[in-house]
Amino acid sequence: MGVKSRTRAEKRKETKKNTAFASLQNVPTSPRKMRTVADLVRGKRVELALHILKTNPKHPAIRLHKLLLSAISNWQSKHEGQRIEESDLFVKEIQVDGGRILKRIQPSPQGRAHRIRKRSNHVTIIVESMNKPEVMPEAEKDEVKPEVKAPRAKKSTEGTPKAAKKAAPKKTAPKPPKAIKEVKKAPKPKAAAAPKKGTNLKSNNKKG
């Protein structure tokens, strides 16, 4: 047996010691028929679940009613000193798994044979209380205040040559005066052109 499988088996044993359950194996009904009744009880309180199973007319309800009573008695044996009325028990889990199948033959006409499968199932019910004992909280740890770091003082750099260079004012060369722009003279108006000969003017029409 390996180390991993051994540790898993030990964990299963520890969980089984604390959980109250009851199981029934090889119930002579099909798993599908048993699940229809098991779905009515899953997550319900114990008092209501017992009432549902007692009044249900289906056949698997009788077996589940007895199985639930045995699960309640197992819880009471593991939790001595606690009353069932104050604990508020409820059906935490209910599982229906397939069991063995009995194979039978039914004769049919013309020498044939039909297969008959007589199914069975395994049922497990886990019961738990709603009023679990409260776990006391751990002592609060002392709060560690973060240290406040003082601001660093700036180093004086008055005596250093770099500081002297920064402190000395920069000498700026005087800018040359701007050249005075010459005022452009306005262009002279052009003289009127002399009249050409042969034009229709009064002076030309006159005869000498």
User: Is residue 72 included in any domain, yes or no?
Assistant: yes
- Return the CA Rg of the chain: 55
User: Is residue 192 included in any domain, yes or no?
Assistant: no
The CATH number linked to 16 is 3.90.470.10
User: Is residue 62 included in any domain, yes or no?
Assistant: yes
How many structural domains are present in the chain?
1
User: Is residue 34 included in any domain, yes or no?
Assistant: yes
User: Is residue 184 included in any domain, yes or no?
Assistant: no
pLDDT recorded at residue 87: 85
Best CA proximity match to 60, nearest among 122, 103, 117, 104: 122
Task: Write down the H helix ranges in 104-183.
Answer: 161-167
pLDDT recorded at residue 95: 95
pLDDT tens sequence for the chain (208 residues): 688 898 988 888 887 888 889 999 999 999 999 999 999 999 999 999 999 999 999 999 999 999 999 999 999 988 888 888 888 899 999 999 999 999 999 999 999 999 999 999 999 999 998 886 554 445 444 455 556 565 666 655 555 555 555 555 556 666 666 555 555 555 666 655 555 555 554 544 544 4
pLDDT recorded at residue 158: 55
pLDDT recorded at residue 82: 85
User: Is residue 78 included in any domain, yes or no?
Assistant: yes
User: Is residue 51 included in any domain, yes or no?
Assistant: yes
Range of the domain at 119: 7-129
User: Is residue 201 included in any domain, yes or no?
Assistant: no
Instruction: State phi, psi for 95 to the nearest 5 degrees.
Output: -120, 140
Q: What angle do CA 27, 31, 35 make, to 5 degrees?
A: 110
